[in-house]
Chain A
Amino acid sequence: MADLDIKEKKDIFTEEFLINMGPQHPSTHGVLSLELKLDGEMVLECTPHIGYLHRSFEKLAENRTYTQFIPFTDRLDYVASMNNNLGYCMAVENLLKLDITDRAKYIRVIVAELNRIASHLIAIGTFAQDLGAFATPLFYCFREREKIVDIFNEICGNRLTYNYIRIGGVQSDLPKGIEEKIKNFIKYMRSKIDEYDWLLTYNVIFLARAKNIGLLRKDIAINYSVTGPNLRASGVKRDLRKDRPYLVYDKFEFNVPVGVNGDAWDRYKVRIEEMRQSLKIVEQALGSLPQGDPTVKTGRVHKPAAGEAYFRTENPRGELGFYIVSDGSAYPYRLKIRAPSFSNLAVLPELIKDAKIADIVCISGSLDILMGEIDR
């Protein structure tokens, strides 16, 4: 019998709907472009396109002295500049085999943790905004972030790109009276985090939108080398501050919050809890802050011996690693940055199974990616 070519006949011709979300779109957080293939409201395929913010930092580093590159690190993850400064300076200090003072270590912990809170505030605010909460939580988060920015402004004179942590210590000692301000902020911030819980965390609509959306399984997260709050939300208890303590993190008592399901809500919740833990760390660090001059006197030009160093720190978005190869000159021979957001974005296409357009926005918002460090 001849093959009968039976195909399903449809009365109406339908085809998929290709839509470019970004690089100019209210909720792609910078210049991310998502190529979405849609069937009505359902998303069939999602391909992220990056590169709109590429500034060739790694190549530029080869023509800068070690000190000159610090301001570039500010512009990687520009909402957590302190943490980037920290990671880079620690890598260079490793290369130089330089020891820094205890006071500098404590100051670094304080500013890094404060910046982690500031960064998580933006993550939470924009996530709520992506879910359609019309800027109200965003403004609340910015109100609190403003206090941190004011503290930083007093410490180092800048509000976004701090360039505060230097090779061998910090730019300058903490100004007088700042401890009191930070203590007041800790008290203020604690009450505000509780307020977020009332406004957002347990809101029925918020739960309906974020629970069980964008489930990131443990094994997938590990295979894609997802790090930071996104990994912890999937139930993997991994935090470099605990697992490989640098600076003086081993002296403080704090928990590593982990999620259960690895959905968007867990990623949000982990960030909320991390802010509480960071406050705890700052409080302890302020309590045991040693006195003295924080900065080790080093020359302006560093010439490390030929060799290589890799150092990773726990950034608000995950593991930030700097790999530096030195040939003995004043300029790095090669510098490679391992940006956490890059891996966190790479996992996005895995999370869109059965997602709708609104979920795409929710998932990408909950991953808290930042284009500055993806397109470094």
Chain B
Amino acid sequence: MFTLLNLTNMITTGIAVLGFIAISAMFLIWWERKVSAHIQTRLGPMRVGWHGILQSVADAIKLLLKEDIRPAGADKLVWWLAPFFVVVPSVMAFATIPFGKTLIPKDLNIGVLYILAVSSVCVLGVFMAGWGSNNKYSLLGGIRAAAQIISYEVPLILSMITVVMYANTLSMQKIVESQSHSWNILHPNLALAGLIYITSATAEVNRAPFDIPEAESELVAGFHTEYSGMKFAMFFIGEYTNLFIISAIATTLFFGGWKGPLLPGVIWFLIKTYSIIYILMWIRWTFPRLRVDQLMGFAWKFLTPISFLNLAIAGWLLL
């Protein structure tokens, strides 16, 4: 039933989600800079606010005021649309992420499927940016991104299906409920699925050591080389929102979601999610980058067979 109450509900949820995304992305950018700085024996941002906590705000203002430059010969429509194709799906994916017992925008009964479907759209935006920029480096970045994201989607989906098989549901909230007694990651079968998920999800959001599409030392900045101002900021926000989403999904599927003693659910959820993000950052600032063929080989020759095997074992155990 579509009533006025429903509408206001939708609007408040939307605003809350958008607000959370903006704050979370800005916080993550600041945090990443701090983590990387301390790993590299630096201090990182220190000037704007306490330990530079407002640095991201200052950067956002700067990016908003910057001139929006469109390279000559760019494919206007494609170039203009690309940032939205990256940001919008990651915002949409928030719809089924359970922050707490009741704190979920919409508990769809096909939650897992919905997230997979929505987040696959991202690759389109990345490729559009690479194609539309009329820059050879961007094009190479776009091609790499398309190949990489599509390849890693396979082990990613297979590892999530393993969880779905055990939980016997596609709803995110029910998957959390199924972990009331013990986290999925403690189950050997699902622990392997969890490792596969984290690995392929890192590749899915183009983070080091799988940051082939934007490989700075090779392709300058890859697909977003030509973007400036707010359009660049959109890619940046999209990147950090995706980082939050993959960690949130990992928390929900493998680490018991919002469940935990004493503290309210949402706090537990955020603690777990940000811990996973921290580990991903740690990995990013430690390891060198794989080469593009090694990356594809790793997905098709190693991760995919292992996920199939894991899935088969799960099926055999459940029968």
Interface residues of A (CB under 8 A from B): 17, 19, 25-27, 40-41, 128-136, 139-140, 143, 199-200, 203, 205-206, 208-209, 356-359, 361
Contact = CB atoms under 8 A, between A and B. Distances in A.
Interface in B269-319: 284-294
Contacts of B288: 128, 131-133, 200, 203, 205-206, 209
Given A134-B284, A203-B287, A361-B217, 7 more contacts: A25-B220, A130-B217, A132-B208, A132-B288, A136-B286, A139-B41, A358-B289
B290 A133 contact: no
Contact of B291 (A19, A143, A208): A208
A209 B290 contact: yes
B294 A132 contact: no
9 contacts: A26-B220, A132-B209, A132-B217, A135-B36, A136-B40, A203-B287, A356-B293, A357-B218, A358-B289
Contact of A205 (B144, B218, B220, B289): B289
Contacts of B137: 19
B36 A134 contact: yes
Contacts of B209: 132, 205
The range of chain B's interface size is 20 to 34
Contacts of B39: 136
A27 B285 CA distance: 18
Contacts of A361: 217-218
Interface string B200-228: 00000000110100011111100000000
A27 B292 contact: no
B115 to A, nearest CB: 29
A129 B291 contact: no
A19 B136 contact: yes
Interface of B: 36, 39-42, 136-137, 140, 143-144, 208-209, 211, 215-220, 284-294
A129 B217 contact: yes
Nearest to B212: A358
A131 B286 contact: no
Contacts, number: 82
A307 to B, nearest CB: 48
- Shortest Cβ-Cβ A-B pairs, 10 listed: A132-B289, A139-B40, A27-B217, A133-B288, A131-B288, A358-B291, A130-B217, A205-B288, A132-B288, A19-B136
Given A134-B208, A134-B285, A358 B292 contact: yes
Given A26-B216, A208-B294, A358-B218, A133 B289 contact: yes
A208 B290 contact: yes
Contacts of A136: 36, 39-40, 285-286
Overall SS of chain A's interface = helix
A40 B143 CA distance: 9
Contacts of A131: 217, 288-289
A205 B283 CA distance: 12
Given A26-B217, A140-B41, A41 B293 contact: yes
A27 B41 contact: no
A84 B121 CA distance: 56
Contacts of B284: 134
Nearest to A18: B136
Nearest to B37: A139
Contacts of B289: 131-133, 205, 209, 358
Nearest to A200: B288
Contacts of A206: 288
Nearest to B40: A139
A361 B288 CA distance: 13
Given A132-B209, A132-B211, A356 B292 contact: yes
Nearest to B211: A132
Nearest to A137: B288
Nearest to A25: B220
A273 B144 CA distance: 36
Contacts of B41: 139-140, 143
B220 A359 contact: no
A148 to B, nearest CB: 16
Contacts of A209: 288-291, 294
Contacts of B294: 208-209
Nearest to B286: A136
A199 B136 CA distance: 34
Contacts of B290: 205, 208-209
B36 A41 contact: no
Q: Looking at B217, B288, B292, which has the most chain A CB atoms within 10 Å of its CB?
A: B288
A25 B136 CA distance: 13
A213 to B, nearest CB: 9
A165 to B, nearest CB: 32
A236 B220 CA distance: 36
Contacts of A132: 208-209, 211, 215-218, 288-289
Nearest to A28: B217
A41 B292 contact: yes
A123 to B, nearest CB: 15
Contacts of B144: 41
Contacts of A40: 143
A208 B287 CA distance: 12
Contacts of A199: 286
A180 B62 CA distance: 49
A253 to B, nearest CB: 34
A128 B294 CA distance: 18
Nearest to B284: A134
Contacts of A41: 140, 144, 292-293
A205 B217 CA distance: 16
Contacts of B293: 41, 356
Contacts of A143: 41
Contacts of A356: 291-293
Nearest to A204: B287
Given A131-B288, A132-B215, A356-B292, A17 B40 contact: no
A133 B287 contact: yes
Contacts of A130: 217
Contacts of A357: 140, 218-219
Nearest to A130: B217
Contacts of A128: 288
Q: Looking at A129, A205, A356, which has the most chain B CB atoms within 10 Å of its CB?
A: A205
A17 B136 contact: yes
A366 to B, nearest CB: 13
A357 to B, nearest CB: 6
